């Protein structure tokens, strides 16, 4: 029942890591593929796009002219914002339906939400944990020119239009560096799966936490307590950090959906890389 948002900028290798985790048993929900569905013929967002940009963005056969739309929105932040306002709610509704269906079929599933645009879009903490794939900008540009045929100028423009690695990393629980070759990132992704994701999910399912360490140098855990305060507050909880742990007010269900479980008289974050506990304020006065 662990849900993870996997994010990263264009050329970072995010989708490659998602594919590795899918091969290890994760159920991957791809935001880009979902977007193609909602913007495809009969999709919930296509007609709105057609009304907003009347000329040239929908081909004669009724399919989206992606190149024409990209030429508009990537040159103008206001146009990009208008597109986001149409597509993001539609994409999220479709994604949520896929996640709910997967968990209904297998309550113990690990769900990986492969999403390039996580930071700054209002749904940063929908998942129990966030993972970011990062890579040096020059390496990303080289990948994009080689594998997608982009010019250096176009590749840099796409990178500059997205959140920075630092912005994404601030809201992520784990960061995976992908500056080396494919064998190295596979080793890092597999290590993250076996040493972090599987124990995280086991702790949630069995309500038993065990400390773990990550043995690959490309993996970095974000130990900033602020991330967890933000996630709890996003879930509607009042949370504050004190010596000895967190103090929280709010529904127990919100703690569960934020990746915590009840452990005796306190609550524990299931993340195996962090020894973090919380107490509900009402238990302190009982």
What is d(CA 131, CA 67) in angstroms, rounded to the nearest whole number? 30
What is d(CA 171, CA 181) in angstroms, rounded to the nearest whole number? 26
What is d(CA 6, CA 168) in angstroms, rounded to the nearest whole number? 10
Residue 16 assigned to a binding site: yes
Q: What is the dihedral of CA 250, 209, 126, 96, to 10 degrees?
A: -110
Residue 151 assigned to a binding site: no
- Token output for 254: 């919100």
Residues in Cβ contact with 235 at an 8 Å cutoff, skipping those fewer than 6 apart: 125, 250, 254, 255, 257, 258
What is d(CA 195, CA 107) in angstroms, rounded to the nearest whole number? 21
Residue 12 assigned to a binding site: yes
Residue 14 assigned to a binding site: yes
What is d(CA 109, CA 91) in angstroms, rounded to the nearest whole number? 21
Q: What is the largest CA-CA distance in the chain?
A: 68
The vertex-210 CA angle with 206 and 214, nearest 5°, equals 125
Q: Is 8 in contact with 116 (CB distance < 8 Å)?
A: yes
The closest of 23, 48, 4 to 201, measured between CA atoms, is 4
Residue 11 assigned to a binding site: yes
Residue 15 assigned to a binding site: yes
What is d(CA 111, CA 5) in angstroms, rounded to the nearest whole number? 8
What is d(CA 8, CA 132) in angstroms, rounded to the nearest whole number? 5
Annotated binding-site positions? 11-16
Annotated binding-site positions for ATP? 11-16
């Amino acid at each position: 029942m662990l849900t993870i948002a996997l994010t990263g900028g264009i050329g970072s290798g995010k989708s490659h890591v998602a594919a590795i985790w899918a091969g290890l048993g994760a159920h991957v929900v791809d935001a880009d593929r979902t977007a193609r569905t909602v913007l495809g013929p009969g999709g919930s967002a296509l007609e709105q796009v057609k009304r907003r940009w009347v000329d040239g963005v929908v081909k004669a056969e009724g399919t989206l002219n992606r190149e024409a739309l990209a030429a508009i929105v990537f040159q103008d932040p206001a146009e990009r914002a208008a597109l986001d306002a149409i597509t993001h709610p539609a994409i999220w509704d479709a994604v949520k339906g896929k996640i709910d269906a997967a968990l209904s079929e297998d309550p113990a599933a690990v769900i990986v939400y492969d999403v390039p645009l996580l930071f700054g879009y209002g749904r940063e903490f929908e998942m129990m944990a966030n993972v970011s794939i990062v890579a040096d900008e020059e390496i990303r540009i080289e990948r994009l020119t080689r594998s997608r045929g982009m010019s250096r100028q176009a590749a840099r423009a796409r990178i500059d239009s997205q959140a920075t690695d630092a912005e994404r990393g601030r809201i992520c629980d784990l960061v995976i560096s992908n500056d080396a070759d494919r064998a190295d990132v596979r080793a890092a992704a597999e290590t993250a799966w076996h040493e972090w994701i599987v124990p995280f999910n086991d702790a949630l399912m069995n309500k038993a936490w065990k400390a773990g360490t990550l043995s690959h140098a490309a993996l970095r855990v974000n130990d900033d307590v602020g991330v967890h305060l933000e996630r709890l507050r996003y879930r509607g909880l009042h949370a504050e950090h004190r010596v000895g742990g967190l103090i929280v007010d709010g529904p127990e269900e919100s703690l569960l959906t934020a990746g915590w479980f009840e452990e005796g008289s306190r609550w524990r974050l299931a993340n195996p890389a962090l020894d973090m506990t919380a107490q509900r304020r009402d238990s302190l006065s009982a």
